[in-house]
């Protein structure tokens, strides 16, 4: 059988396929109307609830800092720790708010390229805000300990200075090691390893989203 | 208060009826897009449902002065591209040999072997396209004008013209 097809043969095949599917489609249309139209199964729903959870999480840290301010702390180290915890809570809430704002702006009736870019930007923003919320934990745990003890009017730095300094030292070392490892894994000779590391940190979603953004840009430019 | 509630409900029922009529009139767009982006019957149904739901969700903001089919293509293609990019669908796609997935549509009510063969080649070609290229192919096969394609996809008319030229070339060389 001659399988050489011209674009016009393609259109004829498309119309033939359409005729074959028409009967099936009529039956399905009835089903579409019967099922509720308000029930979307948006892939953005987990992302939305993830941000809501981050806002709740951030608010809990702001509340913890507020409790400390109400107890009128006098020790400088406790105040600094309180500022760190408060700032972290604010960053977590603002980061999630920005992502939610991006999701809220999405309009499926926009031109395909515009909406797909918006979607991917929201996704990359979400992943990066997640990393931003995760990395401070190298330090944050010790600041939280200081705040919790500060609520009982105890200055942890004064009572157990070695614990605090070792904690911050470990945090600084951990953050530096993370930064160094991040750059080391991205050298050209370790491209595969870097990719695997990215995937383990972000589930591969950031790399995929960025690759899809590149695909959109190529489609727009060609 | 009750009168206001009744009027609101009546307005909502009118909007739903108007939407149902438009959905019926342009149902082909929903199903063609669903059939082009999902091969398994279960995925096709899910995608058609998701498109209809997003159309209903976006309908209050639809500008009556603009073409309904253009608006509908935008929504349907946006939903389909996002749908096909979701991990779960991709895994389900790859879990099944392509020929088996296409077989049920290509052979349903087959009238002659040559047409069936052409449909199968067409479906394989569609399946090989990236999501955005697939949108362009679908609009080209639907004989949509270059201006409308540009409006739906959000690229320039000259870009559409170049891409359709390349698409035709690929059809000639790959089949």
Predicted local confidence at residue B15, as pLDDT: 79
Mean pLDDT of chain B: 81
CB < 8 Å & 24+ apart, contacts of B123-128 = B123/A17, B124/B98, B125/A10, B125/B171, B125/B174, B125/B175, B126/B36, B127/B39, B127/B98, B127/B102, B128/B174
Name every chain A residue with its beta carbon within 8 A of the beta carbon of B61: 107, 109
Higher-pLDDT residue of B94, B145: B145
The model's pTM is: 0.74
Contact at 8 Å (CB) between B76 and B29? yes
With 90 as the cut, is the pLDDT of residue B138 above it? yes
**Position of tokens 């604010």?**
A90
CB contact under 8 A, A3 and B132: no
Q: Is A8 on the interface with B (CB under 8 A)?
A: no
Q: Do B86 and A111 lie within an 8 Å CB cutoff?
A: no
pLDDT tens, residue order, chain A (222 aa): 445 677 888 888 888 888 877 766 666 666 665 555 555 555 667 778 888 999 999 999 999 999 999 999 989 999 999 999 999 999 999 989 998 888 888 888 889 988 888 888 887 788 778 778 888 999 899 999 999 999 998 999 999 999 999 999 999 999 899 888 877 776 777 767 766 666 655 545 556 666 777 777 778 776
pLDDT of residue A198: 61
pLDDT at site A19:
80
B121 → closest Cβ in A5, A113, A215: A5
**Judged by CB atoms within 8 Å, which residues 112-171 of B form the interface with A?**
113-115, 117-119, 121-123, 125, 130, 132-133, 135, 141-143, 151-155, 159, 162-163, 167-168, 171
CA–CA distances in Å: residue B135 to residues A187, B42, B131, B143:
37, 21, 6, 13
pLDDT of residue A102: 85
Residues 28-87 of A with CB under 8 A from B: 28-29, 31-33, 35, 37-43
**Which residues in chain A have their CB less than 8 angstroms from residue B74's CB?**
108-112, 115
- CB of B35 within 8 A of CB of A84? no
Mean pLDDT, residues B56-83 taken together? 91
Taking 3-state DSSP, the helix, strand and coil percentages for chain A, each rounded to the nearest 5, stand at 80, 0, 20
pLDDT at B137 over 90: yes
A116 interfaces chain B, CB cutoff of 8 Å: yes
Q: What is the pLDDT of residues B9-62, one digit of tens each?
A: 667 777 788 888 888 888 889 989 998 998 788 888 888 888 988 898 889 989
Tokens of B80: 């389909």
* pLDDT on residue A1: 45
ipTM over 0.85: no
Would you say residue B105 has pLDDT above 60?
A: no
Q: Is B86 on the interface with A (CB under 8 A)?
A: yes
């Amino acid at each position: 059988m001659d399988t050489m097809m011209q674009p016009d043969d393609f259109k004829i095949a498309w119309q033939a396929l359409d005729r074959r599917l028409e009967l099936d489609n009529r039956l399905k249309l009835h089903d579409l109307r019967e099922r509720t139209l308000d029930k979307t199964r948006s892939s953005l729903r987990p992302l939305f609830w993830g941000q809501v959870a981050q806002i709740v999480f951030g608010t809990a840290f702001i509340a913890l800092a507020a409790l400390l301010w109400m107890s009128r702390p006098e020790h400088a180290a406790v105040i600094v720790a309180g500022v760190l915890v408060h700032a972290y809570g604010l960053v977590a809430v603002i980061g999630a708010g920005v992502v939610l704002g991006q999701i809220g702006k999405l309009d499926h009736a926009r031109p395909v390229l515009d909406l797909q870019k918006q979607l991917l930007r929201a996704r990359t923003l979400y992943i990066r805000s997640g990393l931003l919320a995760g990395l401070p934990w190298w330090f944050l745990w010790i600041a939280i300990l200081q705040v919790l003890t500060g609520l009982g009017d105890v200055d942890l730095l004064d009572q157990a200075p070695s614990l605090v300094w070792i904690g911050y030292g470990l945090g600084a070392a951990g953050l530096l090691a993370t930064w160094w490892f991040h750059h080391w894994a991205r050298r050209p000779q370790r491209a595969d390893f870097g990719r695997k590391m990215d995937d383990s940190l972000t589930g591969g979603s950031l790399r995929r989203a960025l690759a899809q953004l590149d695909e959109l840009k190529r489609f727009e430019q060609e | 208060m009750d009168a206001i509630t009744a009027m609101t409900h009546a307005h909502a029922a009118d909007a739903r009826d108007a939407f149902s009529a438009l959905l019926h009139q342009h149902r082909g767009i929903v199903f063609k897009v669903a059939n082009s982006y999902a091969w398994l019957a279960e995925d096709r149904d899910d995608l058609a449902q998701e498109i209809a739901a997003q159309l209903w969700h976006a309908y209050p903001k639809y500008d009556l002065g603009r073409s309904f089919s253009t608006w509908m293509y935008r929504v349907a293609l946006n939903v389909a591209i996002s749908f096909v990019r979701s991990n779960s669908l991709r895994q389900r796609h790859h879990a099944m040999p392509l020929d088996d997935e296409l077989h049920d549509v290509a052979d349903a009510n087959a009238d002659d072997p040559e047409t069936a063969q052409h449909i199968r080649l067409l479906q394989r070609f569609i399946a090989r396209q990236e999501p955005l290229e697939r949108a362009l192919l679908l609009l080209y096969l639907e004989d949509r004008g270059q201006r409308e394609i540009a409006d739906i996809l959000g690229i320039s008319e000259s870009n559409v013209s170049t891409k359709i030229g390349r698409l035709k070339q690929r059809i000639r060389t790959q089949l």
